[in-house]
Amino acid sequence: MVAVLSTKGQLVIPQQFRRALRLHAGDKVTLSLEGDRLVLKRSSLAPARMVKSHRGRRVLEAPGDAPPMTPETVKDLLSEFP
């Protein structure tokens, strides 16, 4: 894939790469040089936070860009704990 640098030095990240990295407008990315290569990495996801539910209980809320949680992913995550 070839992209063209604009006169302002801007580069468009093709959609297939944005989707693969779950990048959206306003997301932060980290750029680094490895030899003669420019490496782009998605910055860490926003952390989860504690909020009050509509019933007044405190619950853990995942950030909007977190991957979907399915029963299988929860089971896999819990299996990592003793």
| 5-39 tens-digit pLDDT | 999 999 999 999 888 887 888 888 989 999 999 99
Domain boundaries, the chain: 49-79
φ, ψ of residue 75 to 5 degrees: the values are -60, -45
Check residue 9 and give its pLDDT: 94
Determine contact, residues 23/29, Cβ cutoff 8 Å: yes
Is the pLDDT reported for residue 45 higher than 70? no
Q: Which residues, 6+ apart, have CB-to-CB distance to 63 below 8 Å?
A: 45, 46, 47, 48
Average pLDDT, the chain: 85
pTM over 0.85: no
Residue 22's region, left for phi above 0, alpha for psi from -120 to 50, else beta, is: left
Task: State the Cα–Cα distance between residues 14 and 18, nearest whole angstrom.
Answer: 6
